[in-house]
Copies of this chain bind each other. A is one copy, B any other.
Amino acid sequence: MFSVKIYDISNSDIAWCPGCGNFGILNELKTAFSELELSPNQVVIVSGIGQAAKMPQYVNVNMFNGLHGRTLPVATAIKLVNPSLIVIAESGDGCTYGEGGNHFIHTIRKNPNIVNIVHDNMIYGLTKGQASPTTPKGVKTTLQFDGVFVDPFNPIAVAVALNASFVARTFMGYTDLTIELIKKAIKHRGYSLIDILQPCVTFNKYNTYQWYKENTYILPEDYDPTDRKTAFEIAMDTEKLALGLIYLNESKEVYEDFQPRIELF
């Protein structure tokens, strides 16, 4: 196991609020890297714009901190060009499911071998608290004064509907589960979605640490993620959110396998 320290960035002033769930994800990610013994130059984190998207600023690996909403096309291209890299597309719920929604659905179809980590705080953090696609109905925000009145986006159900190859959800407060899922996703061949529930202590006063604990459950050990119907039923349940690997489809072909290899150096 590598030391987690090798992923530290020197003198970096972390711009998140004290108590923010992003700190936990940062540690979980670095721990997963170290447990998998990934050397920094082997990994690329592609992020968008938002609080979550600041992640690679604090991890000493290759970084592509691009545009809001555009993690997935960039990550897909990097993987196509150099399949030996481990490519993580990481960003917020707004970035991935809002601005980037079209890439989300079509990247699932393409199925490149990348890991898509979504920090799902159910809010637009960096722009100060507007509703994101996953904000629950009724929640009041800095823009939705009378509460959100549209149904939240269900990323898990959509991913299952599109027959994605690896669909997981976790809560950042469950460190072991989260590390395990990140590792599994990295080892899985194909597009892997990990929707990580994350409190935004500043702007989302509804989906708190407590709320996540009370409104989630961890899938049992013997849960079989390969049955799509069951996975969809689980995904449909938005009262009690299932955590773990919800759907796994290992028969899906990987995008880069259909493309020529190009010479890089």
List of B residues within 8 angstroms of A151 by Cβ:
109, 111, 162-163, 252
- Asked whether, in the complex, the Cβ of B253 is within 8 Å of the Cβ of A153, the reply is no
List of B residues within 8 angstroms of A105 by Cβ:
101, 105, 153, 158
Partner of A106 from the list B133, B160, B252 (CB cut-off 8 Å) is B133
Partner of A157 from the list B111, B161, B236 (CB cut-off 8 Å) is B161
Partner of A253 from the list B133, B149, B161 (CB cut-off 8 Å) is B149
Q: How many copies does the complex hold?
A: 2
Q: Interface size (A, Cβ < 8 Å)? A: 33
> Shortest CB–CB separation between residue A138 and chain B, in angstroms?
12
List of B residues within 8 angstroms of A255 by Cβ:
149-150
Indicate whether A235 reaches chain B with its CB closer than 8 angstroms.
Answer: yes
List of B residues within 8 angstroms of A133 by Cβ:
106, 109
List of B residues within 8 angstroms of A152 by Cβ:
109
Indicate whether A145 reaches chain B with its CB closer than 8 angstroms.
Answer: no
List of B residues within 8 angstroms of A205 by Cβ:
none
List of B residues within 8 angstroms of A162 by Cβ:
151, 153-154, 157-158
Q: How far is the CA of A99 from the CA of B109 in the complex (A)?
A: 15
Partner of A229 from the list B153, B161, B232, B252 (CB cut-off 8 Å) is B232
Q: How far is the CA of A235 from the CA of B100 in the complex (A)?
A: 25
Partner of A110 from the list B100, B102, B150 (CB cut-off 8 Å) is B150
- Asked whether, in the complex, the Cβ of B109 is within 8 Å of the Cβ of A150, the reply is yes
List of B residues within 8 angstroms of A252 by Cβ:
151
Q: A residues 228-262 with Cβ under 8 Å of B?
A: 228-229, 232-233, 235-236, 252-253, 255, 258
Residue of B nearest to A238 (CB): B163
Q: How far is the CA of A150 from the CA of B133 in the complex (A)?
A: 27
Q: A residues 153-174 with Cβ under 8 Å of B?
A: 153-154, 157-158, 160-163
List of B residues within 8 angstroms of A236 by Cβ:
228-229
* A residues at B contact (CB < 8 Å): 98-102, 105-106, 109-111, 133, 149-154, 157-158, 160-163, 228-229, 232-233, 235-236, 252-253, 255, 258
29 A–B contacts, CB within 8 A, in A order: A99-B102, A100-B102, A101-B101, A101-B105, A101-B106, A102-B102, A105-B153, A105-B158, A106-B133, A109-B133, A109-B150, A109-B151, A109-B152, A109-B153, A110-B150, A149-B253, A149-B258, A150-B255, A151-B162, A151-B163, A151-B252, A153-B162, A157-B161, A158-B158, A158-B162, A160-B161, A161-B235, A229-B229, A229-B232
